[in-house]
Structure 1
Amino acid sequence: MIDREGIEQAPDQIIDIADWPVYKDYDVFPEGARDKTLRVCPEPPLFRFCLPGHRYLFKEAIKSAKNPGQPRHPDQYWAEVIAFRIGRLMGLTVPPVFVAINSATNEPGTVNEWFMDYPGSEDERYFPGGDYMQRLIPGYDRHKGREHNLTTIIMLSRALMRNNLLAHDWKPYWGLCLCFDALIGNTDRHQENWGLIWSNDGPRARLAPYFDNGTSLGHELQPKKMQRMMRDPNELNAYLHRGEHQMRWAKGDPRRLPLIEGVVRYCEHYPEVRPILIERLSQWHEEALEAMLLNLTRFDMPAPFTQSRAEFVAFLTLTRRERLLQALEN
């Protein structure tokens, strides 16, 4: 991944993808619950933070099953943008995500930068985690993913490292992944939302940047529920307690891995990762988070990011960070 640090989208720089060409023959991208199209940034780009000729995934809000064509959570797309920016506060490698709209349909969403095929990069191939889960677990149901588990992922990572096929240390990678997901409340790190990028020169692999992070940050909560959670500790605690990773610790476990407990359990097995996570959680101040969220309220978009939701996302994220740090430092 090339250096994409320091990129910033201002409120008056909303991307309109109506005239962006669809990539080859892929009109609708098949993975996930949200409608997506794979687009190509035109040359020259309207804004400097976009890469001409590069692929971007335009993602809309999840559509309602009861009201076809209508979004179930019309402002969910903001969670993807915020997760990217929180990931950057933590110093993580997260593909850029920008606020966008399709003016032809007035559909708001995000454009998510494809994390391969950058200018001047070597020839690489991407394989989603589901490919490996199917190979390692006989009869693995890729549609339901109920046997998705961290123990098998660790076994795969160890084997790659042992055979000198992995270009970086997998222990911090998965520790940071669990920590990031726990911080933003991401419950969607299933087998299609991680993968390996293989270089044809070697061959060697690297684990993909943390992508598809939008099922997070309380996006599903209505305003009245948000306000109650900010006033009532019992309601907040119940919500936080329900949060689980989209994987079990081991294949036969009856329950998925709780968000914060999963991070602590991982660090009990790999204690050298604990100080890395503490440092990444501590290196940014709450003012940086609040300023970032306030800036997003200035974007003039359908289903805007409201002041009340900005306050709630800050409250929720800072509460999760405090509890993560308490759990890791004790």
Structure 2
Amino acid sequence: MQLHGLFTFQLSRDTMIDREQVYQHPDQVIDIKDWEVHRDYEVFPVGAREKSLRVCPDNPPFDFCLPGHRYLFKESIKSAKHQDQPRYPDQYWAELIAFRIGKMMGLRLPPVFVAIDSTRNEPGTLNEWFMGYSNKGDERFLSGGDYMQRRIPSYDREKGKQHNLTTIIELSRVLQRARWLNQDWLHYWGLCLCFDALIGNTDRHQENWGLIWEESELKARVRFTPYFDNGTSLGHELLPEKMQRMIHDHNELNAYLRRGRHQMRWTANDQQRLPLIGGITRYCNQYPEIRPILIEHLGRLCEDNLKTMLFDLTRFDLPHPLTQQRAEFIAFLTLTRKRLLLQALEN
């Protein structure tokens, strides 16, 4: 089941940008037991992880929660054999860490917080919906899958094998020529590929990006969504013994890094998906003017700040906590990918 242009909310872009500055401290775990389900979405119908669309109460638990706003509560992926048990119990941390890394890079991402449903002792993340902030204009969200189907008549939305960057670029150019697009698509997709390669996100499928249309009396305007749904990343699937081996065995680490691929191809007919770092190289060869911009944003990710942030997250008291071992591995993996990305971009 897909959502096709379902959400029509009121939004202020400036408010979204302001919200990126919010910060959750270890003593501020959100309990959503009394948060109402938004309309009929007790189970949100997009994606592999369990999600429910919740509404923040009028008296929010912390000042960084917006009363009356919508949030996706996302749990870790459940085991195929035991649906009551998570396959990767601490996966939810990847969503929060990816958000904080994106902030360090100066990217636009919807705020993410850790939370718990105490009625089930189920931890997860609260992902702030990137629309519905104010009454400054009617806006409508359409997912990337809607556009892929329109531009590729045979597009299989269930499998998404034809999801490709060439069609996305063609769409972006159409919007630019019509003077509807109010942002630089070249920067947007370059930074998206760079961010996904840095965190190892292999899940940027057609439902994990989209366009926000703003209707006015003068002219329709459109922009791409902020980068959302980034939790299939940061080695979340690796067990502790595997992490330990990869830190000390360069061959095993390099093999793991080579397997990483974007959830899109360069063209619809390509046999293979784009490699995470190879995709950046190909994009920069096509559009060399983006190269210094990606290098500058990668440079904002400071090793000390990254490690301090990760240590802070180990202090949260939640089921399946972020362990010191996993925090150290995420720092190691991310800094390794940063180094490889800079080498690819600077050569």
TM-score range, shorter chain: over 0.9
1:191-223 Cα shifts (integer Å, max 9, x gaps): 000000000112111000000000000000000
Q: Do the aligned residues in 2 keep the contact of 1:98 with 1:110 (CA within 8 Å)?
A: yes
1:116 aligns with 2:146: no
Q: Do the aligned residues in 2 keep the contact of 1:62 with 1:73 (CA within 8 Å)?
A: yes
Aligned to 1:41: 56
Aligned to 2:316: 299
Superposed, 1:139-178 pairs within 5 Å as 139-178=154-193
Aligned to 1:311: 328
Aligned to 1:256: 273
Q: Do the aligned residues in 2 keep the contact of 1:176 with 1:277 (CA within 8 Å)?
A: yes
1:218-249 Cα shifts (integer Å, max 9, x gaps): 00000000000000000000000000000000
Superposed, 1:100-249 pairs within 5 Å as 100-201=115-216, 202-249=219-266
Distance 2:53 2:301 in 1: 33
Distance 2:255 2:324 in 1: 24
Post-superposition offset of 1:6 = 2.6
Distance 2:22 2:181 in 1: 29
SS at match of 1:112: strand
1:325 partner amino acid:
L
Q: Do the aligned residues in 1 keep the contact of 2:38 with 2:54 (CA within 8 Å)?
A: yes
1:74 aligns with 2:89: yes
| Structure 1: gaps of 5 or more residues | none
Aligned length: 330
Percent identity over paired residues: 69
2:25 partner amino acid:
A
Post-superposition offset of 1:27 = 1.3
SS at match of 2:307: helix
Superposed, 1:1-12 pairs within 5 Å as 1=13, 2=15, 3-12=18-27
Distance 2:241 2:136 in 1: 48
1:287 partner amino acid:
D
Post-superposition offset of 1:46 = 1.1
Aligned to 2:111: 96
Distance 2:59 2:265 in 1: 46
Kindly report structure 1 stretches of 4+ aligned residues shifted beyond 3 Å. none
2:287 partner amino acid:
Y
Post-superposition offset of 1:284 = 2.9
Q: Do the aligned residues in 2 keep the contact of 1:130 with 1:191 (CA within 8 Å)?
A: yes
Distance 2:60 2:246 in 1: 42
1:79-108 Cα shifts (integer Å, max 9, x gaps): 000000000000000000000000000000
1:176-195 Cα shifts (integer Å, max 9, x gaps): 00000000000000000000
Distance 2:201 2:126 in 1: 19
1:111-165 Cα shifts (integer Å, max 9, x gaps): 0000011024421000000000000011110000000000000000000001101
Distance 1:98 1:57 in 2: 10
1:145 partner amino acid:
G
SS at match of 1:172: helix
1:12-58 Cα shifts (integer Å, max 9, x gaps): 10000010011112211000011110001111211011111100000
Q: Do the aligned residues in 1 keep the contact of 2:32 with 2:118 (CA within 8 Å)?
A: yes
Further displaced range: 287-296 or 40-49:
40-49
**Which TM-score applies when normalising by structure 1?**
0.99
Q: Do the aligned residues in 2 keep the contact of 1:117 with 1:123 (CA within 8 Å)?
A: no
**Which TM-score applies when normalising by structure 2?**
0.94
Q: Do the aligned residues in 1 keep the contact of 2:20 with 2:111 (CA within 8 Å)?
A: no
Distance 1:80 1:166 in 2: 28
| Structure 2: gaps of 5 or more residues | 1-12
Distance 1:255 1:78 in 2: 29
1:293 partner amino acid:
L
SS at match of 2:125: strand
SS at match of 2:130: coil
Aligned to 2:339: 322
Post-superposition offset of 1:5 = 3.6
Return closer, same or farther for 1:277/1:302 CA change in 2, 3 Å cut-off.
Answer: same
1:279 partner amino acid:
E
